[in-house]
Amino acid sequence: MIFDTDKNLRYYAAFNPAFEAIAKFIEENDLKAMECGSYEVAEGIKVGIDEYAPGTGGDFEAHREYNDLQYAICGEEIIEVLPIEFVGNSTGYKPDIEFFTSQTAAATRVALTEGTFAFLAPQDTHKPGVKMGTDKIKKAVFKIKI
């Protein structure tokens, strides 16, 4: 997992060139005004923009075919993150998502606030959507093809 602010996205381009494309997309688009929906960012990168009321989260989830870069446009939520070795009781793999209903260790809690992002690799199970302070969050979830 990587947690940082949008100002530092380009620093990670040496790790994964998708960071450059995502930084450019954020700079060139008014994400606060953008309609919720799915958009192509670049080859192998798509983004889903959604607005919702955080609650208790749900089950931990993991992806096999994509890395997630979850970016808070406005509002805030907590994302709980736990290495995949510490979750269990899979509900079964569906195209690019698997849910886990139990955990054997405490999760790290990341406060996703306006302008921050969390990069989550397949081994980073995560539970987004945990209420922090605001009643709504508008978030962009970038899916980076592995």
Nearest to 77 by CA among 139, 33, 8, 32: 139
Name the residue range of residue 115's domain: 2-145
Computed from CA positions of residues 78, 82, 86, 91, in that sequence, does the dihedral angle turn out positive or negative?
positive
Structural domain count of the chain? 1
- CATH number of the domain enclosing 30: 2.60.120.370
Listed in sequence order, the residues at least 6 apart from 24 whose beta carbon sits closer than 8 Å to its beta carbon are none
- In this prediction, residue 8 carries a pLDDT of 97
Contact 116, 72 (CB under 8 A): yes
- Facing residues of 13 across strands? none
Q: Is 110 a residue whose pLDDT tops 90?
A: yes
Give the pTM.
0.95
Tokens of 65: 């075919």
Which DSSP letter does residue 56 get? B
Q: What's the whole-number average pLDDT of the chain?
A: 96
DSSP state of 55: B
